[in-house]
Chains A and B, each alone.
Chain A
Amino acid sequence: MLVLRRRAGEAILLGPDIEIEVVEISKSRVKLGVRAPRTISVTRRETSAIAAENKQAPALAVAGSGLENIVRLLRNTPSLL
Chain B
Amino acid sequence: MTTPLTVREPVPGRVILSSCLGDISQDKGSELFLPAGLPGFETEHVLLPVEIPARRPLVFLQSVRSPDVCFVCLPVSCIVDAPLADISEDDRAGLDLDPGRNLVMGEDHLCLALLLPCGDTVRTNLDAPIVINLRNYRCAQILLEPRHGSRRLTVDGTWEPVC
Q: How far is the CA of A67 from the CA of B132 in the complex (A)?
A: 24
- Residues B153 and A73 in contact, CB atoms below 8 Å apart: yes
User: Which chain B residues numbered 45 to 72 have a C-beta less than 8 Å away from chain A?
Assistant: 54-58, 60, 68-72
- Residues B120 and A67 in contact, CB atoms below 8 Å apart: no
- Name B121's contact: one of A41, A43, A73, A78 (CB within 8 Å): A73
Q: How far is the CA of A48 from the CA of B115 in the complex (A)?
A: 17
Q: Say whether, besides A60-B122, A70-B121, A74-B57, A80 and B39 are in contact (CB < 8 Å).
A: no
B111 → A minimal CB distance (Å): 13
- Dominant secondary structure of chain A at its interface with chain B: helix
Q: How far is the CA of A75 from the CA of B54 in the complex (A)?
A: 11
Interface residues in B, total, Cβ within 8 A: 44
- Residues A47 and B55 in contact, CB atoms below 8 Å apart: no
Q: Which residues of A contact B20 (CB under 8 A)?
A: 61-62
Say which size band chain A's interface belongs to: 20 to 34
What are the 4 A-B residue pairs with the smallest beta carbon separation, nearest first?
A76-B157, A51-B40, A51-B39, A61-B20
A25 → B minimal CB distance (Å): 15
- Name B143's contact: one of A47, A68, A81 (CB within 8 Å): A47
Identify 4 new A-B residue pairs, CB closer than 8 A, beyond the known A54-B38, A57-B117, A73-B154: A57-B71, A57-B72, A60-B115, A62-B68
A1 → B minimal CB distance (Å): 23
**B102 in contact (CB, < 8 A):** no
- Name A74's contact: one of B78, B117, B128 (CB within 8 Å): B78
Q: Which residues of B contact A63 (CB under 8 A)?
A: 117
